[in-house]
Amino acid sequence: MMHCVTCSAPVNIAVVKYWGKNDETLILPANSSVSVTLHQDQLQAQTSVAVSHHFEKDRIWLNGKEQCINNPRIQNVIREIKRRARKRKVSSRDTDTEKLNWKIHICSKNNFPTAAGLASSAAGYACLVYALKCLYDIDGDISAIARCGSGSACRSIHGGFVVWNKGEENDGTDSIARQIQPHTHWPDLRVLILVVNEQKKHTGSTEGMQITMKTSELLQGRIRCVPDKVEKINQAINDRDFQTFAEITMKDSNQMHACCLDTYPPISYLTDVSRRIIQLVHHFNRSCQQTKVAYTFDAGPNACLFLLKKDVQRFLHLVKQFFPPTTEEKDFIRGKTEELTETVSNGNEEDRSYFPLDPVADSLKYIIYTMPGPGPQELPPDQSLLDKDGLPKTLS
Ligand code: DP6
């Protein structure tokens, strides 16, 4: 007998960033954060979890390769899920309690290249926790369990617009994520991810925020001003006020990266290409006499841009002028390309006096065109990544 569940979960992008922890084991953040969950049609993690009395040991495969399951974060997640399931199962059927003692096989993959440097661990842990919740039939909040895998993963438990409250309790019980608004609340909001052509290995976010926490004086000032930003961006989301949403998003990204530079030794995630994207966005906004595009950067050089559907074509046209692609259009722009129907004619060339930047070819790998989307979902059994023996289908 084997019980198997398959789920999918989304990536999220913070607009008020999480940077710094008060507790490394429980993953309690130094400040609250706010994010937008991205649509799973473009970016998604998929995970199958199976339990059987035939399995000899717990095993995990990530993107086709077997990994060590003794990773403390994975262990914390499994332990916490089982604790919650046991608590609930006291009065339920014997078979359910028995299932909790069986060994587990986990198989997970992303539908986007991990090399793209996107927040794959958030989607991965959210997916694992959601799949385990379905397998063991747990109810109540599971974001606090996802948080124990990776802080930002707690926000991927919900779709749409999400706040992760830092919480006040020492045991982390109130450090949970909740939805501010569903993805359908702002139907014309769009997202462009500009994947920068750069191979450099960066300091991981776990390590990076640890050093910032220890050495940056600026971070203390940042932590003090986050509550006000969270309140204001929450209101801007509720009101669909793009100008305020965009300004808070850009300023918060700049502030997080300023704290990274204030870290000793300094950490710089942004590259020359990232900085050119920042300039281009500001030049574009100035030329429109309105804030029409916002950027935000995580622990890497890729830009995540927010804008409204009506402005996407014009802005993309400009991006292609300043970062001329060396690949074909269909490879350069991926995702919701069905929305790119108008041909922007040469007559629409932007006034170069607003854009005192020289074009630099081949500095962007590709662009992902997406939008806000829903939270994790359970998938039908035919989409399982595990075969009838509980082994990855790709290996069988
Ligand atoms: C820059 O969630 O990856 O993306 O909790 O140590 O696993 P750990 O860190 P992680 O940090 C994400 C940092 C960020 C900002 C954000 O997503 O809020």
What's the per-residue H, E or C state across the chain? CEEEEEEEEECEEEEECCCCEEECCCCEECCCEEEEEECCCCCEEEEEEEEECCCCCCEEEECCEEECCCCHHHHHHHHHHHHHHHHHHCCCCHHHHHHCCCEEEEEEEECCCHHHCCCHHHHHHHHHHHHHHHHHCCCCCCHHHHHCCCHHHHHHHCCCEEEECCCCCCCCCCCCEEEEECHHHCCCEEEEEEEECCCCCCCCHHHHHHHHHHHCHHHHHHHHHHHHHHHHHHHHHHCCCHHHHHHHHHHHHHHHHHHHHCCCCCCCCCCHHHHHHHHHHHHHHHHHCCCCEEEECCCCCCEEEEEEHHHHHHHHHHHHHHCCCCCCHHHHEEECHHHCCCCCCHHHCCCHHHCCCCCCCCCEEEEEEECECCCCEEECHHHCCECCCCCECCCC
Q: Report pLDDT for 12.
A: 97
Pick from 18, 256, 295 the residue to mutate for probing ligand 1's pocket: most ligand atoms within 8 Å of its CB.
Answer: 18
- From the CB of 22, is ligand 1 less than 6 Å away? no
**Ligand 1 centroid to 394 CA: how many Å?**
30
Query: Is pLDDT at 335 greater than 50 in this prediction?
Result: yes
Q: 0.85 exceeded by the pTM?
A: yes
Question: What mean pLDDT value characterizes the chain?
Answer: 92
pLDDT in tens, 56-92: 999 999 988 999 999 999 999 999 999 999 987 665 6
Q: Report pLDDT for 352.
A: 64
Q: What is the mean pLDDT of residues 131-143?
A: 96
**Ligand 1 centroid to 307 CA: how many Å?**
23
Q: Report pLDDT for 395.
A: 64
**Ligand 1 centroid to 31 CA: how many Å?**
12
- From the CB of 34, is ligand 1 less than 6 Å away? no
- From the CB of 205, is ligand 1 less than 6 Å away? yes
pLDDT in tens, 88-121: 766 566 567 788 999 999 999 998 876 556 767 8
Specify the higher pLDDT residue, 246 or 203.
Answer: 246
- Given pLDDT bands bounded at 50, 70 and 90, which one contains residue 327? confident
- From the CB of 206, is ligand 1 less than 6 Å away? yes
Pick from 28, 120, 152, 163 the residue to mutate for probing ligand 1's pocket: most ligand atoms within 8 Å of its CB.
Answer: 152
Q: Report pLDDT for 57.
A: 97
Query: Is pLDDT at 396 greater than 60 in this prediction?
Result: no
- Given pLDDT bands bounded at 50, 70 and 90, which one contains residue 344? low
Q: Whose CA is nearest to atom 5 of ligand 1?
A: 151
Q: Whose CA is nearest to atom 1 of ligand 1?
A: 298
Q: Report pLDDT for 112.
A: 80
Q: Report pLDDT for 347.
A: 46
Task: Identify the structural domains of the chain with CATH numbers, from first to last.
Answer: 2-183+376-383 (3.30.230.10), 189-370 (3.30.70.890)
